[in-house]
Amino acid sequence: MSVSEGEEGGLFRAAPSDNSQDLLDNPTKTVATGSTPEDQASPVVDEASPSSASSFEMLDMESAHAPYQEVQPHWFFCRRADDNTSWLPFSREDSDKLENAFTNISDEGEEDTVVAVEGQRYDVHVKERKRHAVYWEQAPSEVRRCTWFYKGDKDTRFMPYPEDFSKDLEEAYRKSVTSDEWKKKLDFPTGETVILHNPKLIMQYQPIGLQDDWVSSPSEHTRPRTVKRGVDNISVEIPDGEPEKVDHVVFMVHGIGPACDLRFRSIIQCVNDFRSVSLSLLASHYKRAQQEGQVGRVEFLPVNWHSALHGDATGVDEDIQRITLPSISRLRHFTNDTLLDLFFYNSPTYCQTIVDTVASEFNRLHVLFKQRHPEFSGTVSVVGHSLGSLILFDLLTNQRDESQARQGISGEPCHLNCNTLEQTLNRLGLQQYLDVLQNENLDLESLALCRDSDLKDLGIPLGPRKKILNYVRRKWLPEDCRMGAVCQAQGPQLQPEVTSTQDGNESSGLPPQQFHLHRPQSVTSAVDYEYFDVGIGQANGGIAKGQVSIDYPQLEFHPQTFFAFGSPIGMFLTVRGLKRIDPNYTFPTCKSFYNIYHPYDPVAYRIEPMIVSEVDLEPMLIPHHKGRKRMHLELKDSLTRMSMDLKNNVLGSLRTAWQSFARLPVAALPPGEGGETTTEKTLEETQASAAVTASTKREDKGANFWTKILAWSSAIHRHYFRGGFDEAESSESVEEREHREIKMGMLNGGRRIDYVLQEKPIESFNEYLFAIQSHLCYWESEDTALLLLKEIYDNLGVAIEQPQQ
């Protein structure tokens, strides 16, 4: 709720400085400092200035005597950022809950009452007056029950008084109202002086000793503060309360570095902004569904892995700092804190830390949310920005579905062939390693579960251990046990065409560019995953050439949709050696995937060309949240179409002129003369008729072209100022039908994957200037948030509503 300050400003200017100074300088008009507010509230009589009955007394005469009414308190919380301190109000619903809890606290010995506020993301300890975060680590913030507020000349908003100070002011105000005696002066032990001129004009004066030293003007020393009673009399925007019903939960993972936007805000602040944008879009695009109770809200929760990686547990920051050069310290600090995260993720040691942190945070947040919302029965989605999207891609790639999980925990022994370990090694010509394996109590079953690194630790060279692992997994384990033996390797694997060589071993017969990404279920024979150097992101044992395998933990939930913002997934997959993704591949536990990016984002890469390489497809254009294409893009498309039409008409006119010029002249002879036959005459007449018809068509086409040009401005006016026109809608529908006919694979259930945002008009002037901003724009993008909401509520059967412009 917002109140205009125009009246307040008028009252502020009406206070004469000479009268105020006289009130402060005359010691006979006040009671000694340190007395109670009842004693301090003494009437002030101005005997020195006969002209003092100016604006103050006019306000007194205008103000009618009204009975005293108790002030309605509102609860605020403190937010500290660097050196700035601001007080923000709770919503009216949360403030009422806190006030009810406050009034019910009667005994000092009772335990503190805890009230969940802000969508149950924070808990307020009422007696302690502290606000604690629930889902993430954050320092407790102060909470205050506010009734009186002040604002100085240079302040931008009203600040609440401490509760004790407000209580004294309220008591003095009550006495003045009940006795109808004003112009009272209150002195407080801290040195502040408050003068109650009338119910609408109350001023606070700072003691001169507390003024800034550089202030030299006497009038500036006594410049007062405006004092207001009650939250309804100040200019403050009280936020709307959030619906209690939660339809869906979205976990959001950040990218490199601790800051997520150009304002160097944390992932918590950016997710708070994204949540606010989604709430406003729900109110505008799902208004009817909200009124009918079909739509509640979507909860967005941040997942922070950077603090765990750079914390004291790893000690990596201290190690990096010891080898960092002292020059250009700010730039080096920025590099160590942000860009090095890319190298950490490609390091086997710290990659395991990052993956474990993200998975454990997912599971912890999911369990905690279910505890605080026991009635929740919806689904969960995940969002990854920049490097966070790659972490999620690798994590979801290596999940197990229910059938694989049951197979992995069933405990049923694999019935191996009756051949012994000795017979197997003799067949491979590797009997010299029998003693080494027997010393470790290895049999064929346990050998099939070994990784390349395990045999390497036993001192077996590369060639023999490859032969052993490949032979055991392919020859001796039946198909169901082969799947169980590699049940931890659930990621997409490279499946080459296998051919036999002269030495009996098997090798790939396909060049690297023909490797495909396959699900484990589609593998009909066990493949030695150790052969393929695909880098981080493959399952256990899927990393060769010095790379240590990563043990990917399992999530306790199955995500419904995976959204990638500004994602480098396509680039990393290509660098890892994946040239093409099998159209049949899908995440084991997640059935939908969207790759969302800004056209100028320098970090983003596409995914669809890795699935459908034979067709050059444009990405899907994300609609503007107001239901139209941006004007500069529409004008660009219109100019492109007009230039093509103009080019075609000019070329057609030149072709016609050239044909007329090249046609040979024919003498006008009477019929039958010159040996002309009837057949030749008929042929010439037919050609002439065809030429006339073609010329008429060209003239009609040219006329239609210029008609379209003349009608172009009116069409733009109809489209942007009268709600759109049918031609654009029909062209878009044709384009959508063409996109639906293209088989895009199963990574997103056969639907399109790449979605591009519309750049702003100012961004189109210089794409390099806005490149960094384009990579960080997703947290405040209404178009991005609306795409997420549309995907979520489409699955719930709730259609989007186009707001009226």
- Average pLDDT value for residue range 128-135: 95
Tens of pLDDT, residues 322-368: 999 999 999 999 898 888 999 999 888 899 999 999 999 999 999 99
Three-class SS state of 143: strand
Strand extents, DSSP E, 367-485: 379-385
**The tokens of 10 are what?**
């008028």
Share of the chain above pLDDT 70, in %: 63
What are the residues facing 143 on neighbouring strands?
77
Which DSSP symbol is given to 473? Answer: I
Query: Pairing relation of β-strands 754-756 and 84-89?
Result: unpaired
Tens of pLDDT, residues 544-557: 333 346 889 999 99
pLDDT band at 589 (very low <50, low <70, confident <90, very high): very high
The CA-CA-CA angle for residues 406, 412, 417, to 5°, reads 130
> Which segment of 42-46, 144-148, 398-402, 556-560 scores lowest on mean pLDDT?
42-46
The CA-CA-CA angle for residues 581, 584, 586, to 5°, reads 80
Please identify which of the residues 95, 386, 389, 774 carries the catalytic annotation: 386
Residue 567 is predicted with a pLDDT of 95
Three-class SS state of 76: strand
Query: What is the rounded distance in angstroms from the CA atom of residue 48 to the CA atom of residue 181?
Result: 20
Residue 636 is predicted with a pLDDT of 55
φ, ψ for residue 412, nearest 5 deg: -75, 130
pLDDT band at 26 (very low <50, low <70, confident <90, very high): very low
Query: What is the rounded distance in angstroms from the CA atom of residue 147 to the CA atom of residue 233?
Result: 10
With CA atoms as reference, report the closest residue to 430 among 443, 421, 418, 419.
421
For residue 791, pLDDT over 60 is answered with: yes
User: DSSP labels for 435-452?
Assistant: HHHHHTT--HHHHHT--H
Query: What is the rounded distance in angstroms from the CA atom of residue 715 to the CA atom of residue 786?
Result: 28
User: DSSP labels for 622-641?
Assistant: PPPTTSS--HHHHHHHHHHH
> Which segment of 23-27, 528-532, 698-702 scores lowest on mean pLDDT?
528-532
Query: Pairing relation of β-strands 184-187 and 42-43?
Result: antiparallel
With CA atoms as reference, report the closest residue to 187 among 201, 209, 168, 162.
168
Tens of pLDDT, residues 412-443: 433 344 457 787 788 778 888 888 888 888 87
With CA atoms as reference, report the closest residue to 400 among 543, 558, 522, 548.
558
Three-class SS state of 507: strand
The CA-CA-CA angle for residues 71, 1, 92, to 5°, reads 65
pTM to 2 decimal places: 0.66
First to last CA, the chain: 24
Share of the chain above pLDDT 90, in %: 36
Query: What is the rounded distance in angstroms from the CA atom of residue 802 to the CA atom of residue 627?
Result: 7
Tens of pLDDT, residues 9-23: 333 333 344 444 444
Query: What is the rounded distance in angstroms from the CA atom of residue 637 to the CA atom of residue 633?
Result: 6
Residue 794 is predicted with a pLDDT of 94
Tens of pLDDT, residues 641-678: 566 666 666 666 667 766 665 654 544 444 444 444 44
Q: Compare 213 and 148 and report the one with higher pLDDT.
A: 148
- Stretch (H or E) spanning 301: strand 297-303
With CA atoms as reference, report the closest residue to 558 among 369, 380, 796.
380
Residue 65 is predicted with a pLDDT of 61
With CA atoms as reference, report the closest residue to 239 among 349, 92, 117.
92
Query: What is the rounded distance in angstroms from the CA atom of residue 99 to the CA atom of residue 102?
Result: 5
For residue 78, pLDDT over 50 is answered with: yes
**The tokens of 475 are what?**
């020859």
CB 787 within 8 A of CB 758: no
Which DSSP symbol is given to 619? Answer: P
Tens of pLDDT, residues 256-302: 988 888 888 899 999 999 999 999 999 999 999 999 989 999 999 99
386 belongs to the catalytic site: yes
